[in-house]
Amino acid sequence: MTTATVVVRPEDACVRIGISGEIDLDNADTVEEQLAAAIPNETTAVVLELGTLEYLDSAGLRVLFALAARLEVLQIAMRVHVPQGSPARRVLQLSGFEGVAALEG
């Protein structure tokens, strides 16, 4: 079984969410539930920190695309911090995720 750790740090109306480990078919639903629970109604911005995310498959991509779509509907800004050259950044670039959120880092 793969594991992902989701760490939530509220900062006023912004929520910083760090995800480490792996997101795949095994744990994607759990990660998606944790992300949904981490974002209260008064949030105006979400910062995803994916610098320690080691693996991301298509199920993990679905989670991130669904989060981006949900935040867009709720008019909540999203930024994604993921270092240049990291495995997660490469997967996000190849998937076209940059079309829904800018990748920083």
Task: Report pLDDT digits (tens) over 39-96.
Answer: 998 999 999 999 999 999 999 999 999 999 999 999 999 999 999 999 999 999 999 9
CATH 3.30.750.24 fits 4-104, yes or no: yes
Sequence ranges of the domains in the chain:
4-104
Angle of helix 58-73 versus helix 28-37 axis, rounded to 10: 20
Distance CA 9, CA 22 (A): 20
- 13-28: average pLDDT: 96
Contact 105, 84 (CB under 8 A): yes
pTM of the full predicted structure?
0.94
Give me the pLDDT at residue 41, please: 86
Look at residue 84 in the predicted model and tell me its pLDDT: 94
Give the pLDDT band of residue 2 (cuts 50, 70, 90). confident
Residue type, 97: F
